[in-house]
Chains A and B, each alone.
Chain A
Amino acid sequence: MFQPRSIQSSYSLRDKIVSIDYILVFSVLVLGIISMFAMYSTDGGEFKYHTNSHILRFFVFFGMFFVVSFISIRFWHETSYLIYIGVFILLLGVKYFGLTSSGSKRWLDLYFMNLQPSELMKVGLILFLAKYYHRISIEGVNSFRYLLLPITVLIAPVILVATQPDLGTSILIAAGGVIVAWLAGVRAKFFTISGIAMLALLPIAISFLKPYQKSRILTFLNPERDPLGAGYQIIQSKIAIGSGGLFGKGFLNGSQSYLDYLPEKHTDFIFTLFSEEFGFFGSLFILFLYALILSRIIRIGHMTRSNFGKLYCYSFATAFFIYVAVNMMMVLGLLPIVGSPLPIMSYGGSSMMAIMFGLGIVMSCKIYKDVPVN
């Protein structure tokens, strides 16, 4: 009656529930709840639009996380290309039917929500490349033949997103893709060469940058250059975090935030707000939660048998880490303001959806860790 689990391809619901990584689920839930408090604070201590809709989204996508988890990894392996193509079509749709807001076209109006396909592409590209490299033998990885497709599927969405324009997201999408390739065994030489090539192309790329993008980079290099203009966000964010001190100003007492000195406090600067109100120890706790989530994902990647699963989990973990690190470095004044949300914490449905979907597949890897994929 008992088949070895290694070859069992369908599990009962009970089996699935038992094999869930509860530490990961719990960490995500705690982070989600913290984000709700932070959102409540951005709304000035009231249940207003942002808080309500953030709570709703979190629980909807948290539910989706379980649904995705319970579907076999085999299914996700099989539909990887389809998912990528679907998201790519959505990206094309943005180009023609997208909503424009503050000068860039990023959203599709789905009536019940505004979808930002570029966020989904972050996961879509990883899925595609994980499947692609899963099938290629270790010798084939570095042959030119097998480099062509990955480069194409990487460059195409990156260009689409960069021209929205959304430089930050396009870089993060590219980073995810590059990581899969690196993990799959593409030679370091190749990355070095393309790195040098990109450096050579940098001046040309800069000439394509919008003035506000150039100014962001210059401002990052010297925030005091324009303290009331482009440097304002970096300066105010540093003031907010720095003034939080060891224990913070207390919940709902972040003066920088409720007096509107903090820009984009719901989205990119949610960590700033939290750090101002809960101080150094609060910030450490957030970092700890992210580290915990990462370690669980990596652990699942380590446990999973299939290379698809490994590639996916490791890449997703790394990409997830990059999102967190880029966002934090940005608000801490270590990187230019590129506009990237903090996973789970930031307000934004598409980002939440992409992260929960990505985590769901990770959990599916865990539940179906012994299921082979072809």
Chain B
Amino acid sequence: MLSPGSGNTVIKSKLISRRMFLITAAKAVVMVGLVGRLISLQINQVTKYKSLSDKNRFREWKLAPERGSIKDFFDTKIASSEPLYQLHLVPENAKDLDNLFVRLKAILNITDRKVSYLKRVIKKQKPWEPVIVSENLNWSDFSRINLFLHELEGVEPIVSVARTYPDNSSAHILGYVSQISAKDLKTKEYLQDLAVPGMAIGKTGLERKLDEQIIGKVGYQRYEVNAFGKRIREIKIDQGQAGRSFKTTLDYEVQKYTNELLKDKAAAVCVMDVFNGDIVSLVSSPTFEPNQFVHGLDKDYWDSLIKNDKKPLANKALSGLYPPGSTIKTLVALSALENKIIRPLDTFRCKGKIELYGEKFHCWEKDGHGIVNLRKGIQRSCDVYFYEVARKLGVDRLSETAKRFGLGKKVLSDFIEERSGVVPNTKWKKKYIGQNWYLGETLHSGIGQGYFQSTPLQLCLMTAQIANGGFEIKPRIIFDKKNDNLRKYLKHKNENPNEPLPTDLLVSNFNLKPLFKNQEHINLIKDAMFSSSNEPGGTSYRHRFEDPKFTFAGKTGSSQIKRFTEEQREAEVKQESLPYKDRDHALFVAFAPYKNPQYAISVLVEHGGSGGKAAAPIAKKVIKKVLERHELRRNINDQVGESV
């Protein structure tokens, strides 16, 4: 049945179909376009989008490697990475934060200040990011937490690893580790791909020197993360590689002993093996607590370190610069002998003072020492004798000898805190002060005052090189291989007493470098030092050892802080009556045992007064301790092969 307007309807229907055809064609074009786009995205650019998707999906967290440990010569760990108990809190797992903190406060005694700090941190970060409630829990707190764990939802006890030092006896030479700083990242290249947030790196001492090798290889954890950065699951874990461990030449027992001796003093002690330069002990006092630095320093503690006049943070043995005082007299005498300025028996008369170049030069002994030769000059530490010797010797020849024996340059390498000191001469003064040398200054130099500056370690090295018969040694603190050349040479010499080796053969056969022209001169100095410590009238006679096993030969010294005024000199003011800050630094260097020297020692006591009174007694005790452990030490040395 067709409607009356059926013709119209048919035309209309055709129009509709025609127009629909156009639209359908357009649809086809769009369809093709969509397929083209799919081809472009999913086939042509699939690699690009796959990598973009993975970049979205995975995130890596670096894992701090375990720091290698540092051991003493007897393999006792003096710096190690030990388990550390921490308490973390994941806010999203905690049902009732306020209640949780009340419970935690009861169990751990956390301060209110800490709680409000933690609450602020929680507000700032995402709910699944943990906050550290306690950096370092002791074992009893940690086990208590574990006991109550079922009622502490959201709390996670974590066992992590942190640098731990057994005590503070070796704080200075070991140094400390602390959080990486922005400056460290910029200046230290090896940290570029290592930087793990929260990683501790060495800031001073051995920790800094060895940092690159001891730090290890960084590991990583790859997680799948969602769009909000929440970790969904672990994909891969690479633990990295623990750092290398190092064996040092230090003796932890001696370190502890010495540290105890120096307690409350501003002082430093160095002990060195005279044959191979192994540093047995190196202590600076007052010390600090290195463990405190590992987990971010407490401000009060930091302030107490910074404000302490005795400068606990400074390693006085390495970076403290002191005029060597009378300890230099050994080198002055040696230089004069070697340069044929004096003969051992040449004498001068000491009347307590001399006047030269319009200036008065005083001897410490106001009444004078009378007739003085080289041996007596060193034994009594007669200043006038050395004024005369120095005057004849001249500062340039003295400085040449002093440098040869290790003064004026760094003893160790890669310790940023170590300083090189000053061995003055005419050129040096011209260059650094811009003035000509005055002859009077030569006299001051002759008794180790004036421009002379040295570290206790340098004085120890100087003494060691005298003690071993005048051979150069290279001090070391990292025990990497046995170094017994000099001992072998001595053994060879003792076994073949009738064929003294010429110098050039010494060098080639035993790889030695003599520092003398005539070894007899060295022996004269050693003998004089013996008399200073062991014969009546010697400056450290009161602190001698009768037992030949421990007998040492030494030289006292005191470095002047402030010149005595004429009035003080007249009034015979004693060091003890001066204000602490004005007292002389006390110095003592020695080697022991005298008959068969093994170790050299230097002791410095800041503002201790005279070397004989303040420094020698300490040296005496340390020498005994070191010599008692000598056999043990040799045994260990003999056990190791040529390399470690």
Contacts and interface: CB of A to CB of B under 8 A. Distances in A.
Contacts, number: 130
Contacts of A182: 19, 23
Given A239-B56, A245-B50, A259-B224, A284 B1 contact: no
B497 interface: no
Interface stretch (B7-15, B339-347, B373-381, B405-413): B7-15
A259 B45 contact: no
Contacts of A325: 27, 30-31, 34
Given A184-B16, A301-B20, A239 B38 contact: no
Interface residues of A, number: 48
Contacts of A261: 56, 226-227
A339 interface: no
A256 interface: yes
B17 interface: yes
A90 interface: no
A241 B34 contact: no
B37 interface: yes
Contact of A255 (B8, B12, B23, B53): B53
Given A138-B8, A256-B53, A259-B56, A310 B16 contact: yes
B562 interface: no
Contact of A241 (B20, B38, B57): B38
Contacts of B8: 137-138
A242 B1 contact: no
A280 B30 CA distance: 17
Interface stretch (A12-20, A46-54, A327-335, A340-348): A327-335
Contact of B42 (A7, A185, A244, A328): A244
A89 interface: no
A184 to B, nearest CB: 7
B24 interface: yes
A314 B23 contact: yes
A284 B35 CA distance: 7
Contact of B19 (A185, A302, A374): A185
B170 to A, nearest CB: 50
Interface string A257-286: 001110000000000000100011001100
Interface string A349-374: 00000000000000000000000101
B20 to A, nearest CB: 5
A196 interface: no
A206 interface: no
B16 A243 contact: no
Given A256-B53, A280-B43, A294-B27, A185 B1 contact: no
A314 B26 CA distance: 13
B225 A242 contact: no
B426 to A, nearest CB: 70
B326 to A, nearest CB: 73
Nearest to A240: B53
A30 interface: no
B507 interface: no
A298 B19 CA distance: 12
Contact of A287 (B31, B42, B228): B31
A95 interface: no
A21 B17 CA distance: 21
A27 interface: no
Interface in B207-232: 224-228, 232
A244 B23 CA distance: 32
A215 interface: no
A230 B540 CA distance: 85
A239 B53 contact: yes
**Which of A185, A239, A291, A302 has the most CB atoms of chain B within a 10 A radius of its CB?**
A239
B3 A242 contact: no
Contacts of B45: 242
Contacts of A6: 1
B50 A242 contact: yes
Contacts of B39: 280
B641 interface: no
Interface in B48-100: 48-50, 52-54, 56-57
B579 interface: no
Interface of A: 6-7, 137-138, 179, 182-185, 236, 238-246, 255-256, 259-261, 275, 279-280, 283-284, 287, 291, 294, 298, 301-302, 307, 310-311, 314, 318, 321, 325, 328-329, 332, 334, 372, 374
20 contacts: A6-B1, A137-B5, A183-B23, A240-B53, A243-B49, A243-B50, A245-B42, A259-B226, A259-B232, A260-B226, A275-B38, A280-B42, A280-B43, A283-B38, A284-B38, A291-B31, A307-B13, A321-B27, A372-B1, A372-B3
